[in-house]
Amino acid sequence: MKVLIADQFEQSGLDGLEAAGCAVTYDAALKDDALVAALRESQAEVLIVRSTKVTAAMMDAGDLALVIRAGAGYNTIDVAAASERGIYVSNCPGKNSIAVAELAFGLIIALDRRIPDNVVELRAGRWDKKEFSKAKGLYGRTLGLLGFGNIAQELAPRAQAFGMDIVIWARRFEGEADVDLGGYGLDTASRASRITIAATPGDVAAQADILSVHVALGPETRGLVNAALLARLRPGAFFINTSRAEVVDHEALAEAVRDRGIRIGLDVYPDEPTTPTAEFSLPILRLPGVYGTHHIGASTEQAQEAIAAETVRIVRSFKETGRVPNVVNLARRTQATHMLVVRHRNRPGVLAHVFDNLRGEGINVLETENIIFEDGAAAVARINIDGAPSGSLLAGIRAGNEDIISLQLVAIVP
């Protein structure tokens, strides 16, 4: 299997892919037209990327069957175009969660103790213990979490260890009256740290001393953190974003910094450079009380090794079984209206006969499962279809092949 890697990738991952029998082409600098040309020339079946954008033109250039995002998010990949072309898109969820949670908590501590400002002043030869002794501390303060995926689930127990209260909003908890957070590894019996679920993002902001965002980017989360939500934060509150830049209205965020003393820590930005080094200027980063890092949340050695191992697992599974772990673009529910259950002798041509008859009546096969009985003499096929075959069609299928034992038509209830 031919694999093209168009981003930085760990040596352990390269070794693992080669050990799996893959022909690997590795060029971390490939982008845009150069990547289109490389896909055309290599005829790679698998493309592995991190931050590199993957477009429809790239998918049309060669023989791609699978695109792997060596990380959690996949908003840089044109998933709709991949689905139209029958190309799998997969990712590595949860493998960088600890790394991002550690950075988020580092930003929280840095904001409270103004660590970067301390460093700058000392490097400039200035001593100001009185000024930099001003800090509230984290114990007993409230951390608000927007979203409760893998990263937030790692951040929450770290906050508990610091004696912080936690308030959470997440779509997974909407409509649930009683949530067992103990199942997420949290100490729900702790007297030093209370945990509550809020009904809306705004309710979280109203209670939080520190608001940290951990939602995936989608139509419902784009611009989630807007002026109205930020207005519910207390003056002087902290805001942390290590998720996606697009979930935040940055103009409203800058206004909150200027007018209400909100202090912020950011690891993601609009219009980030696509190369490892570049000139980059964003007005909000020049405001007092704003700390930024270079989109490095997932960039620890531990995280990258874990992601490389997961990427190798995905490729190996695809190569050896045809199955893709963590695939993100398969339909959760098909448009099937009926299931045709065919018990048949396990002989060539039986299913071809069934499919050919269904096609004659304009009925499309959406999903098929064929299970073999013990000793291999017979099988049962479960065929999901997008319409109800006529009685005459079913009779024709049954009578037209002596190896069909029985037919059963089952309506699928939405």
Catalytic annotation, pick one of 141, 244, 263, 344: 244
Q: 345 catalytic, yes or no?
A: no
Catalytic annotation, pick one of 295, 313, 338, 398: 295
Q: Measured between alpha carbons, how far is 368 from 382 in angstroms, rounded to an integer?
A: 6
Q: Measured between alpha carbons, how far is 204 from 378 in angstroms, rounded to an integer?
A: 58
Q: Measured between alpha carbons, how far is 199 from 235 in angstroms, rounded to an integer?
A: 22
Q: Within 10 Å of residue 39's Cβ, how many Cβ atoms? A: 24
Residues 6+ apart with CB under 8 A from 359: none
Q: 114 catalytic, yes or no?
A: no
Sheet containing strand 2-5, strands side by side: 23-26, 2-5, 46-49, 66-69, 88-90
* Radius of gyration, CA atoms only, the chain: 27
Q: What angle do CA 248, 57, 93 make, to 5 degrees?
A: 45
What values do phi and psi take at 103, rounded to 5? -65, -45
What single string gives the DSSP state of each residue in 202-254?
A: HHHHHH-SEEEE----STTTTT-B-HHHHTTSPTT-EEEE-S-GGGB-HHHHH
Q: 295 catalytic, yes or no?
A: yes
Closest C-alpha to 394, from 408, 410, 379: 408
Contact status, residue 45 vs residue 1, Cβ threshold 8 Å:
yes
Strands (E), 147-215: 165-169, 195-197, 210-213
Q: Measured between alpha carbons, how far is 256 from 271 in angstroms, rounded to an integer?
A: 21
Q: How far apart are the first and last CA of the chain?
A: 39
Catalytic annotation, pick one of 121, 272, 305, 361: 272
3-state secondary structure of 197: strand
Contact status, residue 221 vs residue 248, Cβ threshold 8 Å:
no
Sheet containing strand 365-372, strands side by side: 365-372, 378-385, 338-345, 404-411
Q: Measured between alpha carbons, how far is 224 from 352 in angstroms, rounded to an integer?
A: 50
Tokens 């963590």 map to which residue?
326
Contact status, residue 275 vs residue 249, Cβ threshold 8 Å:
no
DSSP symbol at 54: B
Q: Which residues are catalytic?
A: 244, 272, 295
